[in-house]
């Protein structure tokens, strides 16, 4: 068996590599986790806006009914990924719209990522015609 002799030039190179690569890897992992939390919050807000718009668009609906339906939806789904939620609704003679805004939940250690959410659903009001 031969004895391997180490060259003096690469002593500690593995430690330096870990010091450089590990923070980049942790940042990428955290950013991807925060991205998925934001996507979940966007989908929740969009579904709430659609539910609210469906209630506001009804023949006997109103903007208040749409706003209440969107808020009921958010409370029924166990909304954990969306914070500071505000629901607004409008209804004219021909169109109803519900907007859900809020902030995606933060993982805490990546505060610089954009977390603002705004989802709107708009559609025609049901009308009775002869």
- Which residue has 């593995």 as its token pair? 14
Alpha helices of the chain — where are they, by DSSP H? 13-57, 63-76
pLDDT on residue 56: 95
Does residue 67 fall inside a structural domain? yes
What pLDDT is recorded for position 64?
A: 96
The secondary structure of residue 112, as a DSSP letter, is T
Residues with pLDDT less than 50, the chain:
none
- What pLDDT does residue 97 have? 97
Q: Which tokens belong to 15?
A: 């430690």
Model confidence, pTM: 0.79
Whole-number pLDDT of residue 110: 67
Tell me what pLDDT residue 30 has: 84
CATH number at residue 57: 3.30.1300
Backbone angles phi, psi at 107, to 5 degrees: -80, -10
pLDDT of residue 119: 96
> Domain for residue 5, yes or no?
no
Burial (CB count <10 Å: 0-12, 13-18, 19+), residue 48: buried
Question: What's residue 92's pLDDT?
Answer: 93
In the sheet with 116-124, reading across from the earlier edge strand, the strands are: 82-91, 95-104, 116-124
Cross-strand bridge partners of residue 88: 99
115 lies in some domain? yes
**Which range of residues forms the domain containing residue 60?**
12-124
């Amino acid at each position: 068996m031969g004895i391997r002799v180490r060259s003096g030039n690469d002593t500690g190179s593995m430690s330096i590599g870990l010091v450089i690569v590990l923070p980049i890897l942790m940042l990428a992992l955290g950013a991807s986790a925060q991205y998925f939390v934001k996507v979940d919050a966007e989908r929740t807000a969009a579904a709430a806006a659609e539910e609210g718009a469906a209630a506001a668009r009804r023949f006997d609906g109103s903007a208040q009914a749409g706003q209440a339906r969107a808020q009921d939806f958010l409370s029924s789904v166990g909304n954990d990924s969306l914070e500071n939620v505000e629901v607004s609704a409008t209804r004219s003679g021909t169109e109803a719209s519900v907007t859900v805004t809020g902030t995606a939940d933060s993982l805490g250690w990546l505060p610089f990522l954009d977390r603002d959410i705004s989802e709107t659903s708009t559609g025609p009001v049901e009308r009775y015609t002869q």
